[in-house]
Amino acid sequence: MGIGTFNAIGSDVILDDRDARKGWADDVAMYTYHAGGAPITLIPGVGDAAQRVLDSATYEWSKDVKAEADQVAKVGVSDDLGAKSQGTHDLINQWAAGRGRDYKTDPIVINMRDEASQSYITSRTAAFSALGRD
């Protein structure tokens, strides 16, 4: 259960980084649009069109930055989840091997891994809820 809680906390840090990166992209796009757009709109004949091009470019840039932030977070959270879960199963398998039990077929060992997984998921879910990451 502790590992599930710690995993949720680690994932929350990864997701906080993602959220900060996405907020930064929104801010940069907005300030670029307003700071760059004000002088551009004053250009006779092309100002409005140039403003629209700037708006489109900043929007597309921010979408790319946000997509990259989402992907980095997804990989980070997924890798952390898999490593922690597998680590618990490896520990149980080593315990079983030390006692002459076949970790692939012994129902006691299989049950231990299932219970560990269930406790891990339950505690991780509870921690995410407490962290506001429903």
pLDDT of residue 82: 72
pLDDT of residue 93: 95
Distance CA 30, CA 10 (A): 31
> Residue 132: what residue type?
G
Distance CA 75, CA 2 (A): 22
End-to-end CA distance of the chain: 18
pLDDT of residue 52: 83
Distance CA 20, CA 16 (A): 6
Divide the 134 residues of the chain into consecutive groups of 10 and give the mean pLDDT of each group.
86 93 93 80 82 87 93 86 80 95 95 92 91 86
pLDDT of residue 42: 78
pTM: 0.69
| Those residues with Cβ within 8 angstroms of residue 58's Cβ, 6 or more apart along the chain or in another chain | 28, 29, 30, 32, 33
pLDDT of residue 63: 93
pLDDT of residue 134: 74
pLDDT of residue 3: 84
